[in-house]
Amino acid sequence: MKILTVLTYYRPHTSGLTIYAERLARAFVMRGHQVTVMTTQYDPSLPREENLDGVKIIRVPVMARLSKGVIAPTFGWVATKLVADHDVVQLHLPQFDAPGVAMRARLFGKPAVLTYHCDLLLPPGLFNRFVNLVVQWQNNMAALLSNRIVTYTQDYADHSSCLSRYKFKLRTILPPVELPPSSENDVRSFAETNHCADRKPVIGMAARFAAEKGVEVLLDALPLILKEYPQAQVLFAGQYQNVMGEQAYSDRLMPRIREYETAGHWTFLGNLNPLQMSAFYPNLDVLVVPSLNSTEAFGLVQIEAMLNGVPCVPSALPGVRMPVQMHGMGRVSQIGDSDSLAASILAVLDEPGKFHGDLESIRKAYSPDTVAAEYEKLFEDLIGKK
């Protein structure tokens, strides 16, 4: 089967969406399919075409940026040629160009499947409000033109203003999650570098430093945690400098965080590669996902942590609360409530033995091969109907 995957950003850009797309594309290749990823050349230094892990990547030049999106004038022209040459089109939303690609799939008689990762909610402001409206319109147009829409959980779909309109097209497929195995030496070296034995317990957060991730909720919860555990520390994995559109947010929080850094209670790790993440998780006592709005639909990092036996404390957002509710490894806290977050973290730290899960069943359910097989059935069904 020739599968065309279309999304705005792909690797080496790092986000939950790009990690999902990369894992799924590789799994398709391992299952014997021919996979092309069409994306944008958001960084001019990236090659226009390359092959990574058997996946052909085609990047379309960018003329300008529009908030977190990009304007690529030749995107439609390239999409026309690629859609015509493939058996099925998989689109990752949110994406500015999705309606045009879905329309081309319909014109060429090719099935189009949307993977809806999350709603797009930009920070307040007149221009961002306009962008939100445009993206909402585009998402709805893409949904209308597609054959099926994949969502991570029914919980998220039921609460999404977009997905709730298209229940007859929905298919629930869990996201792909995998990490390379880490050696004992790697885990031990990570612990020594970050003083994990001396500053316990270790609270992990893996995210971009962005307003919707709820960094300030953890920051406000930290004094309550330090009363019970004076040596506690936060290890923050992910981009925290020069995050697109988040400079004002960073400027507001950094003075407080610097105080905790100086006292040894907060460490920024920056972006970690998969091997480094594999050493990161085993050193945690708990992982937090205090996200604030529907731009977070699941929190793949929760499953990565659980596969390492680490319990999680997410916020009660639809979708985000589901990993803990499904697998019993953690506690759910109230959205945007630092007292609730602190209480949930402390409950996990006080009785860690209560939050074990069936790691083998979790690993199988989220295996990229398992997820790719579910997509494969969907694609074959749609192609058969065509």
87 with 43, same domain: the answer is yes
pLDDT in tens, 95-135: 888 999 999 999 999 999 999 998 776 666 676 677 667 77
75 with 124, same domain: the answer is yes
Tell me what the mean pLDDT of segment 263-277 comes to.
Answer: 94
pLDDT in tens, 345-362: 999 999 988 999 899 999
375 with 357, same domain: the answer is no
Res 123: pLDDT: 62
172 with 101, same domain: the answer is yes
Q: Is the pLDDT of residue 284 over 70?
A: yes
CA distance 284 to 302: 12
197 with 79, same domain: the answer is no
CATH number, domain containing residue 169: 3.40.50.2000
pLDDT in tens, 25-60: 999 999 999 999 999 999 999 999 999 999 999 999
24 with 73, same domain: the answer is yes
User: Do the strands 112-116 and 88-93 form a parallel or antiparallel pair, or are they unpaired?
Assistant: parallel
50 with 69, same domain: the answer is yes
CA distance 113 to 64: 28
Reference 20, options 129, 177, 160, 149; nearest CA is 177
130 with 157, same domain: the answer is yes
In whole numbers, what is the pLDDT of the chain averaged over residues? Answer: 92
CA distance 74 to 77: 5
Residue span of the structural domain in which 237 resides: 184-364
332 with 266, same domain: the answer is yes
Tell me what the mean pLDDT of segment 363-379 comes to.
Answer: 97
Q: Which residues contact 271 (CB under 8 A, 6 or more apart)?
A: 14, 237, 238, 239
Reference 200, options 351, 349, 355, 353; nearest CA is 349
Share of the chain above pLDDT 70, in %: 96
148 with 223, same domain: the answer is no
What confidence category does residue 67 fall into, taking pLDDT thresholds of 50, 70 and 90? low
146 with 243, same domain: the answer is no
Domain count, the chain: 2
Q: Which residues of 152-165 are buried (b: 16+ CB within 10 A; e: fewer)?
A: bbebbbebbebbee
Res 112: pLDDT: 97
191 with 55, same domain: the answer is no
pTM metric for this prediction: 0.88
Tell me what the mean pLDDT of segment 60-73 comes to.
Answer: 78
Structure tokens at 306: 């659980």
